[in-house]
Amino acid sequence: MKVDEDAQKAVLNRLRRAQGQLAAVIAMVEAGRDCKDVVTQLAAVSRALDRAGFKIVASGMRQCMAAADDQDPPMTQEELEKLFLTLA
């Protein structure tokens, strides 16, 4: 499954943002910051990763429905469900 170009840009932006947030969380832990602050930022990283994953799955669903590329067989409903559930 390939992610369409627009979705790929959005996913990469989210992942880069999450990467920056994760670096900040690591720095907070190393600096001994308050647990509440660390957990709050860690939750933000988690949400950013979830959103990126959902975007990838949504793009895959759209492509599967369109079945535009004969070289890549469309994903089955079961495969899409399994992919989606891995994010839950």
> Is 0.75 surpassed by the pTM of this model?
no
Ordered structural domains, the chain, with CATH? 5-86 (1.20.58.1000)
- Per-residue model confidence as pLDDT tens digits over 34-86: 999 999 999 999 999 988 888 888 877 776 666 555 566 666 778 777 877 77
CA–CA distance from 51 to each of 1, 70, 72, 76, 86 (Å)?
18, 28, 25, 22, 13
